[in-house]
Structures are given as structure tokens and as C-alpha cells.
Structure 1
């Protein structure tokens, strides 16, 4: 099934499937809330989501997730403390959900699943690090071009306002970049 794409044996995949559940969340719904301890981790089966936070009354997007992406509150998953982010759907999403407690228990009992879980977390950390470096070193036009190349059709799925926020620019600046391409 959907976890088979991650290099797990059939037995390990079945262990995870038995502990998790598939849920559907409607469009524009926040399901991970800043300031709260999130008790679950998710895998996006269909749809897309964003991680965002409120800064001085302004919604700041800093992550987009698509099919196959693992999502969780880092602070809650790793430190069992309230998260700093909100995670909201941008489309109706079908998600595989597992409690962090169940995942930790399975990780303790299965080296293969533990390595898979670590790898999923590391992949998200690498994406975050790359994004931080790109924000510091690349002009917005280059970041936009790379976003479009990495996610063809993203402008059909995510509003330009959300994309501008993700790029750290105004919607007017994004319109200017789009006109120049």
C-alpha cells in the first residue's frame, strides 16, 4: 500500500498500518495548532498542506507538503512540547495518521521501523535546512523558479498569496516576478 514506497518490508509496513488510520480533512482546515502538543504524525496520501504561524497579525507560510510528505510538529514529536506552527490543508487531504506514542513504541521494538522513522524525520530536517539556506542566499525570483520546477502545477493548487508568503515577498512582488518569466 502507500507505505510500500518507503523501503519497508511487508511485515513492518503491516505493523505501521495496524497502528495508524486513514483520515480525510476538508480544505482550509487547521489540524495542528501552535501552542499545543500535537500527539500525531501524518503522511499525506492526497492533497496538500502548509505549515504557517502568526507573526504580528500576519500569516507566515514556511512549508508546503504534498503527496508522500511526512508532517508533524517537530517540537511535539521530538521534545513532547507545544509546537510553534499551525498546519492547515490547502486542499481536501487524505492523511495516514499515527500517534507519536504508538510510533515511539514501534520504533523501540523494530529497528527497521525506527530507521524508517528517523529517515523520514531527517528528510524533513534537510528540506528545512535547504529552505533556510535558500532564503538567505537566493533571490526570490530564483526561489520561485525552483518552486515551480520542483512542483509543476503548484499555482493551480496553492494561492499566489500563500506562495508569496512562502517566498517571503509581497503578492505584488510575486506578480512582478511572474510577469518577467
Structure 2
């Protein structure tokens, strides 16, 4: 864990805190903090981001699976959860053009774009908007699993969902207490 802290401290602007069993990585550029359990860190390495900035790539995992996390001075990149994690349906749903990884800043951008598209009025592609809202929800839920609190993205998502009256070709969403708490935070 001390090696991971040292590598993260080399990233400009990043603030790192470590307790015995947790690592917190504050990224002021996005106004949010990643919280991961030390036991989830399987390995890490320094990399260079596509923009040329230094970054740290993590492989996190538990007994069932592994997942990536990339921290840059201005962003956090992670893997969206599968639609089955958010939808309460025996039927499988897929967003065919879903990215394998998403940046926190991109999630916020897509959430805003989707909400604005939902508010356009007139003829709308409800299947496409439903897929976009589903994808954003999968991204938001993945962010929360990293301890992030993407309140702005949730606010945009709710704005889009409310604009359409929830009238989309999607099954119900699973109960998610973290989502509910973030939704309440958007009201404040």
C-alpha cells in the first residue's frame, strides 16, 4: 500500500490518504475522491495517459472478478457496470456501443448531453435515449462502487428521466441505496 501511495503522490494535484485498510485519492480537478479498500489493490503501475499526463493504473479485484482504475491529475477512468447490475429484469439488456472504460469527466458530459436531448421535445428516439440513460446509470453506479459521489451526473440523469416521465422501454431499476442517497443530495 505504501508503494501505491508514493506513486500517487507523484501525480500533480492529487491528494492521497491511507489508513490501514483504505486508500483515498482526492482529485480536485473533478471535485471528488476515490475510496478503495487496500485489499482490493492487486497491482498498480505508472503509465502515461493519452494526453501525455502521468497516470497510475490499478487492477482492483475481489474473489470473483477484477476491474481497472486509472487516476490522472485531472480525471478518474473506470469500467461501467453491466446493465444487469442496475436493471431488475431476467431479460438481458445491452448497450451495443458502450465503452469499456469511461472517464469521470466524460460521464458528466454524457449525462448532461442526454438530459438536454430528453428535454428537446418533438420527435425523439426513445430507444436511443433509453440506451443513453441506461449507459449513464451504469457509469454512475460504477463510480459509486469506487467511493465516488457523482452528484452532478445523478442530477443530470434525473433531469433527463423526469423530462421523459420515465416512459422508456426499460424494465425497473434495482433498489440502490447509494443512488437514492445521491438523488436526495441533488435535491439539496
Given the two structures, how large is their TM-score scaled by the length of structure 2?
0.28
Q: Which fold has the larger relative contact order, with Cα–Cα distance below 8 Å and residues 6 or more apart in sequence?
A: 1
Given the two structures, how large is their TM-score scaled by the length of structure 1?
0.29
Q: Which has the higher helix share?
A: 1
